[in-house]
Amino acid sequence: MKKKLYILLAVSAFMLGTSSCSDFLDEENKVGETADLTYSTASGLQGLVASCYSYSRGWYGKEAGLGLSEMGSDLFLYGYDNKQKSLTSYNVSAISLDNNTADNASLDHYWELFYSAVDVCNTALYYIPLNTAINETIRSQYMGEAHFLRAFYYFHMVNLWGAIPYNGERQTAIVTDPTRTPEEVIYSNILTDLDNSISEFQTAGYMTKADGRAHYWAAKALKARVLLYAASWLGKNSITTNTAYAGKDLHALAQAEAEAVIGGSGASFYSNYEDTWSMNNEEIANNNEAIWGVTYSQDLKTPVNCIPKRNRTDTSGNQMDYNTLITRTGYTRGGSTMLLMFVSLWNNGASDLGGNGKEVFVRPLNEGSYYVTNTKTGENVYVADHYSPYGRGFTRYLPSAYLWQLLEKNRATDQRTDATLLSAYTIAKGLEGSSTKYPLMQDTAIYYCPLNGDSPEGRAMQAWAKDRYRIQFLHGGDIPVFSSGDPATALPTEAAKPISDIYGDNRYNSANIGGWCSYPGIKKFLDNVFNPEYPTHDISYRDAIVFRLAEMYLIKAECQIETEGGTQAMATINELRKVRAINGKDNTLSGSATIETILEERAIELCGEQQRWFDLKRTHTLVDRVKKYNPQGSGQIKDVHYLRPIPQAQIDAVTNYSATEAEGMFWQNTGY
């Protein structure tokens, strides 16, 4: 008998295991009450709307969602124990791996999670108009939220899988013969939802961000992104089903929405780009640049931080768990894992830093202490506040040579390079001179240099660093991060040079010093506030910013290439670059902007923010840029990879499967 992964479930299933999305709501599961009774009350309906948000935590700030949105692009490569290597190497298949965490794209779990989220939104849209316990203002607000979130989830699905089943009504029975709706129709329905959302928010006067809820400007920002995606992927006049958009230039419409958000949302830039990412500004509601995002409570143990259980049950009838690539810490604690994903091995792989790294670094949870003893003075130095930047016991993502070189190209004029790239690991004050292998170490322990280590300048720097710190070069030298300086062939090295005694003291004695374990990280997601309860920071309460002001400028500029020309587009890009400039430096670009200019600027501004794979997909540049800049995937990528495979569990579940695309049937995407 076939195992079935049901994409459409009865409403009663959603009464179990749901969690609210933030401190502003906390749904209490109702046992023994019908949905009609529960959702006729103000509190029951409030909990239902809260449940619409909870599924977003399974994607934003989570390892598996990050893999599907950043890996396999031009910006990031996999580290030695990445759990989704198949996404970068383009060996991904339709096989449903369920709870496997060795190498799992988690597409089967996301298919289930997103359709579960949609059905909760559909349920909310059914019950909100029926509820007489709320006033009209709250009704309009709730309708705006539910329309926004349904559009939000469908937007992710259509960009992953292309044509998919579309459900606009709550499901009261299992559907075994779904049909795949064309992408244009999905986009048309998304735009209808967003227009309804904008109208409802306007009626409710719900115009400003608060407590992580969607609002008027969030819907406008999502609409700008949706219109841009449809224009670049399907074509600027591609919408026909939605009569409000039929025949209209989607680039012009996207530009207008972006301009409206820029001018009306109240979002503003920080003069210091690092402040955008400071934990002091991590709350969406208090971040000047954030428009909307996915919120996490500072109390990591609160159920409101966790996603719902699966609606699929085991043989005993218990709801199953999503795999740990999605939940990270399971269902007892929830939060963002972004701080874990872009840093190198916690002790950096070799004993050159002393005692497996313990002379200058520490992992408090394992050591049972937040102190490191200075080998020279004998002083116990408190280092817990300095732990977070020093990596993990695993390595998931490293910046590609292309991204590293792109950021370095702008270092002299642009704040974003230093605020993004973790180029050096420093020691805690009080550990000066403690490293026995680097007796002159004062602050820097490791420096990642963007030069060729075999160049005269590189050799001079290596000689200077000998007794001061470890230096690793982009390529060349004694410890290269990459095998080449050409991004097309620059693979992370998997070991130091095969010599055991570079300096005559056997300091490099571990294969883990290779580039796939030790590399410059991305630091904008790191916690810069120490949490005594969780000193190893295995998960963070940082909110995940989904829409922010800078993206609106980039959307506007990309649209201007089509509507007004490259010169005007470059003027908009330079507005953003002026804000990001180092004080007193000219950070502007000259010439006429092209899509290459846009993609470079989006890389500098948005790297790691769960958009890059979709940017390359929608601009039809994925195959070309992976071949140019991602040697882990360049040999395997093909045009079929513009869409992800439908999970095999779903294929097995349907009764109307067809081996080829046919109207009214359900088929697998080409190539899988």
Compute the C-alpha angle 215/218/222, nearest 5°.
140
pLDDT band at 611 (very low <50, low <70, confident <90, very high): very high
Of the CA atoms within 13 Å of residue 627, those in its CB half-sphere come to: 10
Token pair in block for residue 56 = 């977003």
- Please answer whether residues 218 and 170 qualify as being in contact, where contact means their C-beta atoms are separated by less than 8 angstroms: no
**Could you tell me the CA-to-CA distances from 325 to 483, 522, 656 in Å, in that order?**
30, 20, 31
**What pLDDT score does 13 carry?**
33
**What pLDDT score does 304 carry?**
86
Residue that the structure tokens 């929405």 belong to: 257
**What pLDDT score does 386 carry?**
67
pLDDT band at 387 (very low <50, low <70, confident <90, very high): low
Question: Per-residue pLDDT for 1 more than 90?
Answer: no
- Please answer whether residues 49 and 125 qualify as being in contact, where contact means their C-beta atoms are separated by less than 8 angstroms: no
Alpha-carbon span 238 to 396, nearest angstrom: 38
Query: DSSP letters of 494-544?
Result: SSS-S-S-SSSS-----GGGSTTTS--EE-TTS--S--TTSTT-SSB---E
Query: What is the percent of the chain with per-residue pLDDT over 90, rounded to a whole number?
Result: 76
Sign of CA dihedral 149, 153, 156, 157: negative
Mean pLDDT within 361-387: 72
**Which segments within 566-628 are labelled E, that is strand?**
none
- Looking only at the bridges linking them, the beta strands covering 480-482 and 380-382 are unpaired
Alpha-carbon span 141 to 129, nearest angstrom: 12
Q: Which helix (H) or strand (E) holds 117?
A: helix 107-127
Token pair in block for residue 385 = 């506040």
Q: Which residues lie closer than 8 Å to 390 by C-beta, 6 or more apart?
A: 343, 346, 348, 361, 425
Q: pLDDT tens digits for 540-586?
A: 999 999 999 999 999 999 999 999 999 999 999 999 999 999 999 99
**What pLDDT score does 190 carry?**
98
Question: Per-residue pLDDT for 43 more than 70?
Answer: yes
Alpha-carbon span 356 to 362, nearest angstrom: 10
Alpha-carbon span 567 to 433, nearest angstrom: 54
Alpha-carbon span 546 to 214, nearest angstrom: 11
Alpha-carbon span 609 to 69, nearest angstrom: 8
**Could you tell me the CA-to-CA distances from 279 to 283, 300, 459, 540 in Å, in that order?**
8, 15, 39, 10
Q: Does residue 368 sit in helix, strand or coil?
A: coil
pLDDT band at 129 (very low <50, low <70, confident <90, very high): very high
pLDDT band at 528 (very low <50, low <70, confident <90, very high): confident
More confident residue, 300 or 155: 155
Q: pLDDT tens digits for 97-110?
A: 999 999 999 999 99
User: 16-25, 168-177, 460-469 — which is least confidently predicted?
Assistant: 16-25
Mean pLDDT within 489-500: 75
CB atoms within 10 A of CB 439: 12
Question: Per-residue pLDDT for 638 more than 90?
Answer: yes
Token pair in block for residue 169 = 């009504």
**What pLDDT score does 509 carry?**
54
One-letter amino acid of 53: Y
Mean confidence (pLDDT) of the chain: 89
